[in-house]
Amino acid sequence: MLKHDKTTFKVLYYVNQFFGQIGGEDKAGIEPMFKKESIGPALGFASLIKSIRPLGIPHDDTPIAAARDARTIDIMKSANEGGEIVGTIICGDNYFNENKEKSLEYILNIVKEVKPDILVAGPAFNAGRYGMACGEIAKAVVDQLKIPVVTGMYIENPGVETCKDKAIVVSVGNSAAGMRKALPAMANIVKKIAFGVELGPPQEEGYIPQGIRKTVIVDKRGSKRAVDMLLKRLKGEEFETELPMPVFDMVDPAPPIKDLKKANIALVTSGGIVPKGNPDRLQSASAQKWCKYDVSRKDSLDQSALLGTVDEFCTVHGGYDPVYANKFPDRIAPLDILKKMVKQKYIGQVYEWFYTTTGTGTSVSNSVKFGQEIGAELKKAGVDGVILTST
């Protein structure tokens, strides 16, 4: 919240190398830098926070929500100015995740020097490394400097769990196509935090639940609300629970392989390993399909084409630096080691088909679907076990 003698608020922005307009994967290793200007999404954000008027105040008939709405309007009317971007911190996704302590030290020093009222990171959408960077920065800034942080992520981004209890994580789409919706939602929350307006519940404001329970006044007591929900459920009508329970996917472990020396082992990866040229157009992120390739006559994924087989492999995965995988794709999917194990009689054989997809950004529902489809095919083929590699 702003001090009483201030009429504007300062925002420090964080982006990765791509949104910082430095470059793509080839620049993911750049060290953090600070520029005293608005760069990338910070440009659009700057225009959104110049105006004091909220971009949409939720309205409710409950006394607390109504009072909150009225207070929001009063506070915004009494303010003379909006916010300003005081600079942009840029850091490569690979560099941050491989040098977290060093990166955080630099970023925290910049925050101390600039003294912003709020730090904004992202939005990271469903980019895993970017999300982890935003999450770690948010947690460190809140914990160590007591400065509020607002970021934006897709619900399945691994960075959400890193910081959702510390920072406000606005729920956004899974790709940068949702930028036009994400920035106004984040800006609205930033304005409210800056001027000390109490945020409404997550479903009203559009942020991911933080696990915080608050006492509120409602028109019906709990027993009546519970009966109403029960009646709707019995009638097959839609209802919204007040306490969503987590759904855990429990998978019974498969029985052990009886005799490895006779076993047929398949190789599967979510590392995006495909033949050079990506003939089946496997997506680099948010995969919509899986592919399979004949490796029965290959001793390595790096091996040149033989008669009746595909050329050497590479990666199309958009979530990690491809340099080392392209140099030697068996680093991701170790066909070479499995073939050696056959020759050494540790295993019976390697299944003739190799299965591949990309894991980054891929929805849980698609992941389950892929697993069921690949599993059914392998079971039908009499495969005894699977080596499943990720990145």
Domain carrying residue 309 = 260-389
State whether 147 and 278 are in the same domain.
Answer: no
State whether 152 and 265 are in the same domain.
Answer: no
State whether 201 and 275 are in the same domain.
Answer: no
Mean pLDDT of the chain: 87
The CA distance from 357 to 374, in Å, is 11
Residue 245 covered by a domain: no
Residue position matching structure tokens 């001027």 = 195
Residue 215 covered by a domain: no
Domain boundary among 180, 205, 230: 205
pLDDT at 234 > cutoff 50: yes
Q: What is the pLDDT of residues 187-218, one digit of tens each?
A: 999 999 998 888 888 988 999 999 887 777 88
Q: What is the pLDDT of residues 30-42, one digit of tens each?
A: 999 999 999 999 9
The CA distance from 56 to 58, in Å, is 6
State whether 31 and 122 are in the same domain.
Answer: yes
Domain boundary among 139, 171, 205: 205
The CA distance from 356 to 369, in Å, is 14
State whether 184 and 309 are in the same domain.
Answer: no
More confident residue, 184 or 250: 184
Question: Where does the pLDDT of residue 57 fall: very low under 50, low under 70, confident under 90, or very high at 90 and above?
Answer: very low
**What order do you get walking across the sheet with 385-389 strand by strand?**
291-294, 349-356, 264-269, 385-389
Rama region for 76: left / alpha / beta (φ>0; ψ in -120 to 50; rest): alpha
Residue 167 covered by a domain: yes
pLDDT at 84 > cutoff 90: yes
Counting residues of the chain whose pLDDT is more than 90, the rounded percentage is 62
State whether 200 and 266 are in the same domain.
Answer: no
Question: How many CB atoms neighbour CB 166 within 10 A?
Answer: 17
Residue 171 covered by a domain: yes
Residue 1 covered by a domain: no
pLDDT at 307 > cutoff 50: no
**What pLDDT sits at residue 72?**
54
Q: How many CA atoms lie within 13 A of 214 on its CB side?
A: 12
State whether 24 and 158 are in the same domain.
Answer: yes
**What pLDDT sits at residue 364?**
80
Choose the weakest-confidence range: 59-68, 76-85, 346-355, 356-365. 59-68
Mean pLDDT (whole number) for 233-249: 85
Cβ-based burial of 72 (10 A; exposed 0-12, middle 13-18, buried ≥19): buried
SS3 291: strand
State whether 13 and 80 are in the same domain.
Answer: yes
Domain boundary among 185, 205, 225: 205
Residue 39 covered by a domain: yes
State whether 65 and 173 are in the same domain.
Answer: yes
**What pLDDT sits at residue 62?**
47
Q: Among residues 15, 11, 44, 9, which one has the least CA distance to residue 28?
A: 15
Residues 6+ apart with CB under 8 A from 349: 263, 264, 265, 342
State whether 30 and 157 are in the same domain.
Answer: yes
Residue 242 covered by a domain: no
Question: Where does the pLDDT of residue 320 fall: very low under 50, low under 70, confident under 90, or very high at 90 and above?
Answer: confident
Mean pLDDT (whole number) for 110-116: 96
The CA distance from 389 to 268, in Å, is 6
pLDDT at 68 > cutoff 70: no
Kindly report the CATH number assigned to the domain that includes residue 42: 3.40.50
pLDDT at 76 > cutoff 60: no
State whether 268 and 191 are in the same domain.
Answer: no
Cβ proximity of 80 and 5 under 8 Å:
no
Residue 122 covered by a domain: yes
The CA distance from 309 to 297, in Å, is 7
Q: What is the pLDDT of residues 136-177, one digit of tens each?
A: 999 999 999 999 999 999 998 888 988 999 999 999 998 899
pLDDT at 117 > cutoff 60: yes
State whether 146 and 266 are in the same domain.
Answer: no
Count of domains observed in the chain: 2
